[in-house]
Copies of this chain bind each other. A is one copy, B any other.
């Protein structure tokens, strides 16, 4: 059985939803960031990075969302969560996931986690002021060049969809009005009509 460590409000939601979409046999264990559980000795023994998500498998622990999403797609091929037989199309999926991870998530992280890259309060305030602009620029690129519609890759739902959806949940708090992004807005609505998405969102609220 797979075990996912997650925290609410984090990118771990993408992996959680993808496990559900895959029909995987899994358990999800919530960590409290408020109580700093991600830095407890027990959890650091599982994931030395002190971050979520982490996916415990019978072969060992995996971290990094793009790696986990591709792993789930490959481990549950019947769920058809990625174009596994087409190296180019699979690379397009991975390119989008990598952009979401290394550019969009990183931009967002400058709002509340500026201490990763700087030390002064003035720098943190400067970073925070820029969030609406960087997130809007990133999502303009997604709207224009990446999201084919109705799903990210077009007619087929893939692991990209759960990841994109997860990051769109941050837009409001980051000062970006989703109404300015009609394709992204329609994508969010389409995601919220999926039973797997509804189930995981309900479990996170419980």
A66 touches B90 (CB 8 A): no
Q: Which of A75-112 contact B (CB under 8 A)?
A: 75, 87-88, 90-92, 94-95, 97-99, 101-102, 105-107, 110
How far is it, in angstroms, between the C-alpha of A62 and the C-alpha of B48 when the chains are bound? 32
Distance (Å) between the CB of A168 and the closest chain B CB? Answer: 19
Is A134 located at the chain interface by the 8 A CB criterion? yes
CB 8 Å contact bits of A32-53 with B (1 = contact, 0 = none): 0000000000000000110000
Say whether, besides A74-B87, A119-B126, A134-B116, A141 and B64 are in contact (CB < 8 Å).
Answer: no
B110 touches A91 (CB 8 A): no
A87: nearest chain-B partner, CB-CB: B74
A-side residues, CB < 8 A to B, are 48-49, 57, 59-60, 62-68, 70-71, 74-75, 87-88, 90-92, 94-95, 97-99, 101-102, 105-107, 110, 116-120, 122-123, 126-127, 129-130, 134, 141, 144-145
